[in-house]
Structure 1
């Protein structure tokens, strides 16, 4: 089995959810993560990220980021295990990020 990083990108322009919608969405995330764990595919449930941060460039130039002109930002991540990239992609099929217009980047982790 190989480890894969799932990077969840969210639509910054998506309409705000009501408290009830936010709670239902959180339940969908918990159910999906539980399904990954039950299938022995979950390595690390990861974390949700705040939408603001800083970008550090060479010579330690620091700027605000992500930039407001962006339409999407990294909203969180998790680490799963799968036998192949194709299987890892298949495991994202029911990911709740899609319901809000987001997407998932699937990257194999290079074991050193």
Structure 2
């Protein structure tokens, strides 16, 4: 078994607020999807949901604020799963709620 990180990226629509009802629906989808991975014994780490605000440190000590105008997507969070190979990890990524919102799942192996 190998560990993979799923990095969730979402389109930056410019609107950061949703109603409480919409938030509940979105959270249920995420909990159900992650719960399904956990039920298979494949969830290694729940990871974290990331705030859209951020900063980037560049060479020379230059610090820039985020989100960034030139980027049309934002990093939403990550989880760590365990799978036999890339194909299985990719299969686990299917059904991710980020995909329903024009987002993506980046699947990266973790060096052991």
Determine if the TM-score, normalized by the shorter chain, exceeds 0.5: yes
Partner of 2:12: 12
Equivalent residue of 1:13, what SS?
Answer: coil
The answer on whether the counterparts of 1:14 and 1:100 sit within 8 Å (CA) in structure 2 is no
Partner of 1:71: 72
CA shift at 1:10, angstroms? 0.8
Q: For residues 16-63 of structure 1, what are the alpha-carbon distances to aligned partners after superposition, in whole Å with 9 as ceiling and x for unaligned?
A: 543222211100100111111110100011111011101111222211
The answer on whether the counterparts of 1:28 and 1:96 sit within 8 Å (CA) in structure 2 is yes
Q: Distance in 1 between matches of 2:12 and 2:54?
A: 14
Q: How many residues of Structure 1 are paired with residues of Structure 2 in the alignment?
A: 111
Normalising by structure 1, report the TM-score.
0.91
Equivalent residue of 1:64, what SS?
Answer: strand
In structure 2, stretches of 5+ residues that fail to align are none
Normalising by structure 2, report the TM-score.
0.91
The answer on whether the counterparts of 1:14 and 1:101 sit within 8 Å (CA) in structure 2 is no
In structure 1, stretches of 5+ residues that fail to align are none
Q: Distance in 2 between matches of 1:70 and 1:80?
A: 27
Partner of 1:62: 63
Root mean square deviation, CA, Å:
1.4
Equivalent residue of 1:40, what SS?
Answer: coil
